[in-house]
Every structure is written in C-alpha cells, then in structure tokens.
Amino acid sequence: MARLLINGGNRLNGVIKVQGAKNSMLPILAATVLCKGENVIHNCPDLADVSSTIRILRYLGCCVRREGDTLIINADKMDRDDIPDTLMREMRSSITFLGAVLARTGRVRLTFPGGCELGPRPIDLHLKALRKMGAQIDERHGVLDCTAPDGLSGAKISLSFPSVGATENVILAAVLAHGTTVITNAAREPEICDLSDFLNACGAKIYGCGDGVIVIDGVDELSCTSHSVIPDRIVATTYMSAVAASGGKLLLKNIIPSHLNGIVPIFEESGCEISFLGSDLSLNVPKRIHSVKLIRTMPYPGFPTDAQAPVMAMLAVADGTSVFVENIFESRYKHVGELIRLGASIKVEGRVAVVEGVRHLSGAPVMAMDLRGAAALVVAGLAAEGTTEISGLRHIERGYEDIEICLAQIGACIKKV
C-alpha cells in the first residue's frame, strides 16, 4: 500500500501553481449530461474523484477523453439512467447525477452516495427539493428510484441550510425544467458560481449565484462550451498552512483572491504577511506563528470546514492556544488523534477543539482517515522533526494532484513509497 514518507523540519520556499477545484469539477462533469455536443473543460486535475466521475459518465454512455489537463465530454449518446452502487459509493458528489440524469431522461435509479465519513450526511434537502419540482422518488433499502412523469417544473425552494450539494442538484434539475425555480438560502460557495457559469455558457438562464437567492428560468435545451475550472481554494489553503507551519515564503499562482477572504484573516492573525498581485498570492511567515483566538467553520463566505484540518495542523506549532468550533459536520476531528501522535496538544469536546501550540512536533507513523485530515497530517509531518510515515493515501489522492511533487519543489523532503 502506498505511503508518504516525510522528513520534516525543512523551511519551505518557492512557487506552487494551484490546481483546479475538485468540488467545482465534479458537478460540472455531472452537468455535461444535460448538454448537446462536445464540452471542453480545462484545468481539470487528475484526481481519484475525477476518475470516479468519469467512470460514471462512461457507464451512462458518454464519451470522455483526457488531453493533458483538459477533459472533452460528449453526452449525445448517453443511453442509461441508472448508476450502480459501487460507482455511487466512490464519492459524495456522485449524488449530483441525481438532478442531472433526472433532468436529462426523466428517470434515474441510483443509491446513496459515499464520500468522507464526517458524521451523518443525509440527502433529505436534495430529495425534498426535487419532489417539490415534480419528481416521484421511491426510497427502498438505500436505492432511490426517481421519475418525473410530467417532467420537472420550476418551484420555490427554500433550503433550511445552505447545502452545497442540494443547491447544485436543484440547479441541475431546474435548468431544463418548465418555468422558473427560485432557491432561497442557497449555498454561496464559489463552486456553485462556477457550475452556473458553465451552464450559462451552454445557454442556461441562472441568475444570482453567490447572493443566496438563485433564480433559474428553465430553457428547452443546452448546447456546449469550453470552460476553465476555478482554482481550488482549499488546496491553496493547504499549501499556505504547510509553509506557515514549517516557516518560509510561498508564492501561489492561479488563485482568485476573493475566494480566500474567509481564510486570509486567520493567517494574518497568526502573524503571516499576505499580499496579492493579480492571481498570485505571496505568503511570508514569521519566525514562529501565533495562535488564533477562535476559528468557527461556516458556510461561504465564512471560514471553510474543508480548511479546518490543515489549519489546525499549522496552529499545532503556534505560540499560544487556538480554539476551533466545527459548525458544518458533526464528526470532523478524526485527524486530531493522529496529530497527537505527532506530539500535538489538542483536546476535543463535541464541536470544539482546543489546540495548545507546542514548539516541536516529532515524526511518527500516522494514518489518514479522510481527505482534509490527510492534508493535515502532511502539514504536521512537514513541520515535525524526524520521519513521518502517512498511510491511507487513497484519501489524499481524492483531492490533491501530485501533492508530494508540489511540496518537494518548494524544498520539502517528501516522497511516495
């Protein structure tokens, strides 16, 4: 089984180009089933979750080919409306095929999705919204049999929580529906805007993304386009955390500064200097970072839950005590036990984690339990003295392209074995 070996303690210094956003790519790939012709999607990282999505598209009968970091998808010959359980379980975002395939064929049969174990991850908001749009959904033994006998119709959807996945599913179901759909309390994440930009370029009429109220006027058909996926703000934050924990300087290329508004104040509070020039971010780390009083994960534009683990690893070596409150997922502290093995001092009580910064971490064998937890172990391993061996790499491969190559190029001693 592959592992990452890190000899920590090096200062990091250099340039990293940030990959395309996984959480943008996956719904955009699902959206291609709604389009006629050949979509060309640029800035597509080579990730396990992207490969899983491609397997679903191919199973459905779509043609997909990769040319470097570009994916070319043609769904004209799609001839299936079911997705096997094995494919659904590979990742959470397989659920976006629910809205997409239902809108395309008027029927879809699939099972509950897999993905990182972060506590209960229900899809009740997705199902309630689609039912309101005219879907008949039969749920039995984990199988969802959905039909839209009279087609899907526009509806007023008010989400009780701004769920990213539910917002995406409603958008996908609404673009070809009869009439107008209005989503209130919609998720405002940049990945939602990226999905809408892609669909609008194909002829959809989606307004208000990023504002919390999204209006979608259904159209008769969608054509195709060429689209470049936005940069991954969580990957950017992970590399920033790595450099902040180890000391040094980082120039990140290919970022969208406003997407980092929720995390920049945290790095500044820790004593890091950040400046932007166009799509570049430069990070300058003090001799030792300070603790950060309180970090509360929130829906966008707040501090993202996906950045909680890597930033916690960084603050494990800060001067002073930092407090985290995880508000999005019930069980997103699985990395804590492993960080403690590396010498971190962290106490968890329900949704709160108290991190007392220590001067030194020391290398140890650790196991990744989920994607961002795995990233946290990399951040901590780079800062730790001695050798850290990380197993459970399949988690990191779901969301980080060539992480060991990117980090080695800024001076880390890291290799995959």
Tell me which residues are annotated as active site. Answer: 116
Is 326 or 384 the residue whose CB approaches ligand EPZ more closely? 326
Compare residues 47 and 339 and give the one whose CB is closer to ligand EPZ: 47
We find the least distance from the C-beta atom of residue 167 to ligand EPZ, in angstroms, to be 8
Q: Which is nearer to ligand EPZ, 346 or 375 (CB)?
A: 375
CA atoms within 13 A on the CB side of 109: 8
Per CB under 6 A, residues contacting ligand EPZ are 23, 26, 92-93, 116, 120-126, 161, 163-166, 305-306, 328-329, 371-372, 399
- Nearer of residues 10 and 53 to ligand EPZ, judged by Cβ: 53
Whichever of 302 and 320 has its CB closer to ligand EPZ, that residue is 302
Considering the complex, what minimum distance in angstroms separates the CB of residue 258 from ligand EPZ?
17
Q: Say which residues have a Cβ less than 8 Å from residue 186's Cβ, sequence separation at least 6.
A: 159, 162, 167, 170, 192, 208, 209, 212, 213, 214
* Residue 164 or 407 with smaller CB distance to ligand EPZ: 164
Angstrom CA distances, 267 to 87, 198, 235, 312, stand at 38, 32, 15, 12
> Alpha-carbon Rg of the chain, whole angstroms?
21
Torsion of CA 138, 141, 143, 145, to 10 degrees: -20
245/314 Cα distance (integer angstroms): 5
358 near 321, Cβ under 8 Å? no
The structure tokens 């999705």 sit at 113
DSSP helix/strand/coil, 152: coil
Q: What are phi and psi of 58, to 5 degrees?
A: -65, -40
Nearest to ligand EPZ of 4, 125 (CB atom): 125
The least distance separating ligand EPZ from the CB of residue 112, rounded to whole angstroms, comes to 11
DSSP string, 164-204: HHHHHHHHHHHTTSBSEEEEES----HHHHHHHHHHHHTT-
Phi then psi dihedrals of residue 170, to 5 deg: -65, -40
DSSP letters spanning 23-38: HHHHHHHHHGGGBSSE
**Position 406, amino acid:** C
Smallest gap from Cβ 340 to ligand EPZ, in A, equals 21
CB of residue 24 vs ligand EPZ: minimum separation in angstroms? 8
The distance of Cα 272 from the centroid of its chain, to the nearest Å, equals 25
CB 408 within 8 A of CB 13: no
**Nearest residue to ligand EPZ, using CB?**
165
How far is Cα 195 from Cα 66, in angstroms, rounded to an integer?
20
Beta carbon of residue 70, minimum distance to ligand EPZ (angstroms, whole number): 21
**Smallest distance from the beta carbon of 280 to ligand EPZ, in angstroms?**
24
